[in-house]
Structure 1
Amino acid sequence: MAGRRTSYPMSSNHYVPMANHNHEASDLQDVIETKDQAKESHYFPKTDHDQETSYTFHAVEMEDQRIKSHDFPKTSHDQDTSYAFHTIEMEDEEKRPYPIRMDSLQSVHTTKSEHSETGRSHSAIRPFDTQEEVLVGNSEPSTHPHDGIFWRSPILMGGNLFIGIIASIAHHVFYRCMVGKQVGDDFSQQWTLRYGTTFAFVSQVCLVSSVGFAYTQWLWKSLYHKDTKISVNCLDAAFVADTSVISILNTEMLWKLKLGSLLAVVAWTLPIGSLLTPGTLYVVPSTKSIHTHANVSSLDMYGPDQPARFTYSAPINATDGIQNELFLGPRTIITRLSTATATQGEILPINAPFSNATYDVQFYGPIVKCKEADSATATIIQSLRDESVANITGSITEVANYYYAFVPNLGSYGNSSLPNNGVTVIPQSRLQQPQNASNELWMGYSRYTRSKSFETENHYTVCTLHNASYNININFEEGIQTVTSKSLSVLNSVPYPDINTPASNSLMVQHAYSAYMWSIADLMVGTMGIFQAAPAATGLPSTYFSEITTQIAHTSLLGSSDLDAFFERKSNDPLGNNNTAVSDQRAQDISLAGNATLEELVEELAWNVTCGFMNSNLLSPPVNTSVLSTTSINIYAYHCSTLLLSYGIAIFVALIANSLGAYAYHINGRSHNKSFSAILAATRDSEFGRLLPGGVRGKIPLPEWVLETQLRFVDVDGGGVDECGMGGKKGGGREFRVVGMRKAYEARRKDDLGAHFRRGDGL
């Protein structure tokens, strides 16, 4: 085909350039040139007018973007009319001159070609400098009946709103169902967050989409029914305001399209709620309790072979063949645990089944109860106390005694013929050997009549071993134990074992109880007093000092308030002074003892020692019992008010926007969108072709004079946007027209066009 030229008769659907009124044009043919990369001007026959009519053809070459203009002789008419033809040439394609109609509006003046079979009427070209009133005609919007609202647009607007509301409700219900549930592993927690984020995303997208539909309808309603000049720059911003946040800053749009701008702002602010709602589900620490059965330590002094773990006893054979057991003292484990408990002032650690657990245990065990001695016993205690002081002779003597405790030998108690009614003192350092003793502890001590009074009185106490029924609750929280007595029933007193009692399990239990009392009494017996040492030489003063000869100094009982008088001696004592200030060490002892009396502290020590035996699995073998196991877990919590408020505001605003959209549908009488075809249908005015030079081709930025050009919807008499006209009136409608800034942008347009030609862009 290259180099060959073929002529075709012009089809009836091509526009033929006409002279002005009643001019009859000769037959025309399209000439197709297939010559590669060539551009030719094509001439048409002249008419028989006095002057030749000038025709202009534009050869457009797609490859190098250049345009040629071809001038033709003009003919004489009442007014000059120019026509533009464009020859479009593409590589390896035919080129054909196509006359491009410069105006979409039909003029009342038409020309008819002699050879035109269709008798088509063609528009006369409107001069660009025509006055605005002539161009736009009636700018007031006409009233047109509805020509039908396309169902898909309003249904999508309402459907998106409905789905957004459902997603919001589902989000609330989902989070409400998660409240109190244990947080699973990483995978489970991630999916929980994903579900919540999905609900928020769907709600956001649907609500914003519904507002977008409403904004589009309201925008067209504002432009179509409002007699307002709007610049191209404002229209650019308005048509992307719901998708480009920067466009909302256009001041002209904010001023001339106030409600539309507000809808655009709503479309941008609605997603804020979706940022808040996923965070309303959060994790808080909690505990999970489970009832289970587990092995726990429980004191056992009655089971087979269990008493032997407490007492050191030796078998003896009586003359009558009956075997007896001789009690010799406590086993070392009893002494060790008792001393450790007394030193720490608390129950030794018990073996825990779980790090967080609560359970109850019941058992029979020993307990020591203390009471104030009667007058007869008090007299015996004081007599033995005085004897103890008097028995210290030599260069060092005891001048004042503040504490005296001992285990009485009551084998001859009640024999009035013997000193102290037959009561004797068991030596302080008891040996593990047969002896007559008792399961009692007698104490005499000097204490303040009232705190810090420096006036003392002698007080006498008797502590006795008893059997008791224990019911205790043991609680472990993160490994820290708390032992609480639920009930303690003190039963019978337990006497010291009799050597003549036949061996039996009950006798061995008595031995075990006595071993327990022995270990506690050993911590208490002894003295505390002021001693005087004779001078080393004549004429030198005597030396006075205090001395503690009891294991109580190794226990928490040393901080008892009953012993304050010893540590804060009266001013008439050789070492005494009136200073009641407490030393730092004494303050620690008082804090450890809780400033309690000796009677209270001895009973507390006995209770702690008994419970402390559960530290040993030998003394307290495991038993299976019900345990409330508590585990630290994380659970979900939910701030429903934040989610409901966020979604409530978003839905309320979206409902208002949809109401405006529905109103716009009713006023417009049709559905609109912002597609290219919709915008193209509203811009049929030929002046848009002259407004935008060919070199623009959709690129940005547009020249400033283009952006400032004022447009407005106006009524037209024919053509319209569609067959029936945009307003629905047969043969008429409304479309955008250029209505402002004629002279200003004309001058700038000429300058820009000259620049385009100099660059070779063409028109």
Structure 2
Amino acid sequence: MVTLKVDAPSQALASEETTTSSDPERPQIIDSSSPAIDCAKDEATLPEKDDGISPISPTGEHLKYMSTSSTAVTTTQDPQTPAEPHTDAGEQWSIHWYLPSFMVFKYFLGVGFALGHHFYYRSLDLSLVGSRWPVQVGTALAFITQRCFVGAVLTAYSQWAWRTLNRKPLELATIDGVFAASRDPSKAISREMLSKATVQVMLAAACWLLPLSAIASPSTLVAMPSTMSSNESCPRVASLDFARESISPGVGDAGRKYEINYWGVYRNTTTPVYMQPTYDFQRLSAVSFRSKNGPLHSHDPCPGANCTLTLEFTGPAYKCDEKADFDGTTNQRLTHMPPRGNVVFTSSHPDKERKNKMEIYLGVPMEWFSEKGELYTGKWGTFTTMYPMWVGYVQNTTRPYKGVNDTLWPFELEKKVLKCDLNYAGYTVDLSFEGGRQTVTEMQLDYRGPVLPDGQTMTPYNTTYREFSAYHAIGFIFQKYISNIITQESSTTAVYPASNIYQTNLINETTGLAVDDFPRALETSFANLVLSLLSEPKFSPVFNTSRPCTVRSRIQQWQYEPFWLGVSYGIGAVAALVCIAAGAYAFVSNRYGVDTMLFSTILAVTRNNPELDRLMDGYSLGRAPLPERVLRQRLRFGDITELVVKGGDGKGGRGGGISTGVQVVRRAGFGSEDMVRPVAVGERYG
């Protein structure tokens, strides 16, 4: 569009109305329908420039671009000569360093924050959870990162928007979308926007989707339950020392101490002799036998944490060896067992040889009694023999059996005989305490020989008599508990237990027969009885000591999974980089930088534009939405050069002689597509 401004002297225009009149001496608004321009006999000529603008004739020929079909000429009341542009063409057609530099800076700033996020989380990996602030800090870093990426894309968005507006006439509604789609995605939903501003829509989508890169951030650093191990010294670990039985009963570190046995004395002496196990120990033994979860638990040496430790002490232990047959010292026979008999389990009774059956004297050897059942004065209290425990049992081989009573026993039953001797043994026990619950993780027994070897005696005057008596009492209680028999008439009938062993985990609950690897299970069961003493600190062999232990505390540790953080940031960084590449291309294509987010940019490209003034007449408040007829007007950004006619002395009239001269002022802005031509690259625009 070419605009002609007729410039009259100030004194001639001071009293004139701003609108045109019929006065022939007043400057007229000339449009394409005006027949002529009255220049008061002076010729108005256009400067001869090769700019595609045809000169205006003195007779008022229409002013037209070589490539346009219509021209508009307007008057102006400004008495001053239009100001020259403040910048030369070279400065106008240059890319200021700020916009592209800041676009790249924001991108690399986002990459820096993303890397900082990664290294920050990696520094927290496997560290203790002190507070929840690291997750909040990470969320903040993720937010800053995506805002930097979006900021870089917005700069690219502005450049591509100007490239689009420079090349295509668009409806005003579509131009609104080009300006606002990065802030309002609904503006991108139109047919023309999708077809003629496709790249713009993609850049707007990037602005909206890039913040999704922050979604994965909170899930990449999580607080996970864990344990922390440290080698420490546990100060109150229950342990056993049977030599403490030799110390007179008294008050210990757990209060009043009780011995395992009751004691008697010789007549007219103070020398103690063995009587029987105490009722406290018998009660403890009964509970231990029925426990199917190992020994009874001792107190927790590491309350509030979990720990493992190793106990080492010397104590009694049964050592069981397989024999071909019973030795004949008991009433047990192989013929009592299937298939000829019905005894599937048998264990010798410790009181079998005692002629006096007075239960008050539990575990008193037969040698201590006379023929009349009275205790001998000379032999009372002296141990001369430690009777072994004989055990017989059967195991089902599941092999078909053909022989005697094969209708009762269709499968072959293998007979086993054990001789179990009470030994000194070194205990090495690994204990684990978790949540206050004790677990025996491993136990090793180092057998060191019988507690009473053949040919030796143990008298009340021996310094280890009390310790020996404790071993004897524990062995006696165990042997007494599992003694007697279990019978079964056939493989299809139920078992009939007469032994308390049926209440222990030494017998298979399903078959009623001895468990697999019965010898080791029997030895372990007795060792568990010994370890159960640790649950009763009142017994004299039990004491507290310090032991090295590994303490495992339940903690929460940060666990960092970098994969998803890398994926989310990687996708965001690549998408932003593609958008920046589009922005860089738009910079080069436009030959200058634009910020469409600024009001000053809108002001610069819409100022002093009569066509836009007429289009927007009545809507200066900026109310939205605009009428459909306005939004459907097609506009384009381009060259809207104006022609300014300079006036003379201003006296008016035909003789006044307004001198005419036309100045071409190149302007760029928005206009209808038939009034705008492409911007001439390299030209200076006002």
Is 1:164–2:76 an aligned residue pair?
A: no
Q: 1:555 aligns with which of 504, 515, 529?
A: 504
Structure 2 contact 488–496 (Cα < 8 Å) conserved: yes
Of 701-710 and 656-665, deviating more is 656-665
Which residue does the alignment assign to 2:360? 431
Return the offset for 1:172. 0.8
Question: In the TM superposition, what are the counterparts of 1:91-170 in structure 2 within 5 Å?
Answer: 133-135=69-71, 147=92, 148-170=94-116
Structure 1 residues 547 and 656: alpha-carbon distance in aligned structure 2, compared to 1, 3 A threshold: closer
What code does the residue aligned with 1:697 have?
A: L
Q: 2:278 aligns with which of 331, 347, 352?
A: 331
Is 1:74–2:22 an aligned residue pair?
A: yes
What code does the residue aligned with 1:168 have?
A: A
Which residue does the alignment assign to 1:351? 299
Which residue does the alignment assign to 2:419? 462
C-alpha offsets along residues 193-220 of structure 1, whole Å, 9 cap, x if unaligned?
A: 2210111111111111111111111211
Q: 1:505 aligns with which of 437, 440, 463?
A: 463
Structure 2 contact 246–467 (Cα < 8 Å) conserved: no
SS of alignment partner, residue 630 of structure 2: helix
Structure 1 contact 709–740 (Cα < 8 Å) conserved: no
Structure 1 contact 81–125 (Cα < 8 Å) conserved: no
Return the offset for 1:22. 11
Which residue does the alignment assign to 2:226? 286
C-alpha offsets along residues 665-716 of structure 1, whole Å, 9 cap, x if unaligned?
A: 2333332112222223222431111111225531112111111111123334
Which residue does the alignment assign to 2:592? 670
Structure 1 contact 444–458 (Cα < 8 Å) conserved: no
What code does the residue aligned with 1:356 have?
A: N
Structure 2 contact 174–190 (Cα < 8 Å) conserved: yes
Structure 1 residues 316 and 499: alpha-carbon distance in aligned structure 2, compared to 1, 3 A threshold: farther
Is 1:732–2:661 an aligned residue pair?
A: no
Of 252-261 and 512-521, deviating more is 252-261
C-alpha offsets along residues 286-333 of structure 1, whole Å, 9 cap, x if unaligned?
A: 111122222111112112646961222323269xx8x74422222223
SS of alignment partner, residue 220 of structure 1: helix
Structure 1 residues 378 and 741: alpha-carbon distance in aligned structure 2, compared to 1, 3 A threshold: farther
C-alpha offsets along residues 329-384 of structure 1, whole Å, 9 cap, x if unaligned?
A: 22223222222222223311222223511001100010011223465x53333479
Is 1:688–2:618 an aligned residue pair?
A: no
C-alpha offsets along residues 603-662 of structure 1, whole Å, 9 cap, x if unaligned?
A: 222111111111111332111111211122221112211111211121122222222323
Q: 1:477 aligns with which of 401, 417, 434?
A: 434
What code does the residue aligned with 1:474 have?
A: L
Instruction: Please give the alpha-carbon distance, in whole angstroms, between the structure 2 residues aligned to 1:22 and 1:640.
Output: 71
Which residue does the alignment assign to 2:531? 611
What code does the residue aligned with 2:149 have?
A: L
Structure 1 residues 705 and 512: alpha-carbon distance in aligned structure 2, compared to 1, 3 A threshold: same
Note the residue ranges of structure 2 that are not aligned, 5 or more in a row: 43-55, 74-88, 250-258, 368-384, 402-408, 645-662, 677-686
Measured on the aligned residues, the alpha-carbon RMSD in Å equals 4.3
Question: In the TM superposition, what are the counterparts of 1:200-279 in structure 2 within 5 Å?
Answer: 200-224=142-166, 226=167, 228-279=168-219
Structure 1 residues 447 and 22: alpha-carbon distance in aligned structure 2, compared to 1, 3 A threshold: closer
Q: 1:711 aligns with which of 635, 649, 670?
A: 635
Structure 1 residues 666 and 465: alpha-carbon distance in aligned structure 2, compared to 1, 3 A threshold: same
Return the offset for 1:136. 9.5
Instruction: Please give the alpha-carbon distance, in whole angstroms, between the structure 1 residues aligned to 2:38 and 2:573.
Output: 57
Which residue does the alignment assign to 1:623? 545
Percent identity of equivalent pairs: 23
Q: 1:661 aligns with which of 583, 592, 596?
A: 583
Structure 1 residues 146 and 221: alpha-carbon distance in aligned structure 2, compared to 1, 3 A threshold: farther
Structure 1 residues 317 and 253: alpha-carbon distance in aligned structure 2, compared to 1, 3 A threshold: same
Which residue does the alignment assign to 1:193? 135
TM-score (norm 2): 0.72
Instruction: Please give the alpha-carbon distance, in whole angstroms, between the structure 2 residues aligned to 1:283 and 1:352.
Output: 28
Instruction: Please give the alpha-carbon distance, in whole angstroms, between the structure 2 residues aligned to 1:82 and 1:136.
Output: 9
TM-score (norm 1): 0.65
Structure 2 contact 125–557 (Cα < 8 Å) conserved: yes
What code does the residue aligned with 1:613 have?
A: L
Which residue does the alignment assign to 2:394? 447
SS of alignment partner, residue 347 of structure 1: coil
Return the offset for 1:737. 1.4
Instruction: Please give the alpha-carbon distance, in whole angstroms, between the structure 2 residues aligned to 1:21 and 1:496.
Output: 139
C-alpha offsets along residues 440-470 of structure 1, whole Å, 9 cap, x if unaligned?
A: 3443646367448526676543221100000
Note the residue ranges of structure 1 that are not aligned, 5 or more in a row: 1-17, 31-43, 45-54, 58-71, 84-101, 115-120, 138-143, 390-398, 410-422, 532-543, 560-585, 721-728, 743-763
Instruction: Please give the alpha-carbon distance, in whole angstroms, between the structure 2 residues aligned to 1:653 and 1:22.
Output: 54
Which residue does the alignment assign to 2:447? 490
Structure 1 residues 110 and 157: alpha-carbon distance in aligned structure 2, compared to 1, 3 A threshold: farther
Structure 1 residues 461 and 425: alpha-carbon distance in aligned structure 2, compared to 1, 3 A threshold: farther
C-alpha offsets along residues 417-455 of structure 1, whole Å, 9 cap, x if unaligned?
A: xxxxxx946777743275336433443646367448526
Which residue does the alignment assign to 1:182? 128
SS of alignment partner, residue 505 of structure 1: coil
Instruction: Please give the alpha-carbon distance, in whole angstroms, between the structure 2 residues aligned to 1:367 and 1:212.
Output: 83
Structure 1 residues 23 and 311: alpha-carbon distance in aligned structure 2, compared to 1, 3 A threshold: closer
Q: 1:700 aligns with which of 624, 642, 645?
A: 624
What code does the residue aligned with 1:133 have?
A: S
Structure 2 contact 265–271 (Cα < 8 Å) conserved: yes
Structure 1 contact 446–456 (Cα < 8 Å) conserved: no
Which residue does the alignment assign to 2:602? 679
Instruction: Please give the alpha-carbon distance, in whole angstroms, between the structure 1 residues aligned to 2:630 and 2:573.
Output: 40
Which residue does the alignment assign to 2:680? none
Return the offset for 1:404. 4.6
Q: 2:347 aligns with which of 405, 409, 414?
A: 405
What code does the residue aligned with 2:535 have?
A: N
Instruction: Please give the alpha-carbon distance, in whole angstroms, between the structure 2 residues aligned to 1:484 and 1:73.
Output: 113
C-alpha offsets along residues 245-297 of structure 1, whole Å, 9 cap, x if unaligned?
A: 11121321222122222222211111110122232212222111122222111
SS of alignment partner, residue 700 of structure 1: coil
Q: 2:241 aligns with which of 284, 300, 306?
A: 300
C-alpha offsets along residues 492-541 of structure 1, whole Å, 9 cap, x if unaligned?
A: 2012998872524312111111111111111123345689xxxxxxxxxx
Instruction: Please give the alpha-carbon distance, in whole angstroms, between the structure 2 residues aligned to 1:635 and 1:553.
Output: 48
Structure 1 residues 546 and 690: alpha-carbon distance in aligned structure 2, compared to 1, 3 A threshold: closer
Question: In the TM superposition, what are the counterparts of 1:410-421 in structure 2 within 5 Å?
Answer: none
- Matched residues, number: 567
SS of alignment partner, residue 670 of structure 1: coil
What code does the residue aligned with 1:302 have?
A: A
Instruction: Please give the alpha-carbon distance, in whole angstroms, between the structure 2 residues aligned to 1:527 and 1:24.
Output: 139
What code does the residue aligned with 1:621 have?
A: F
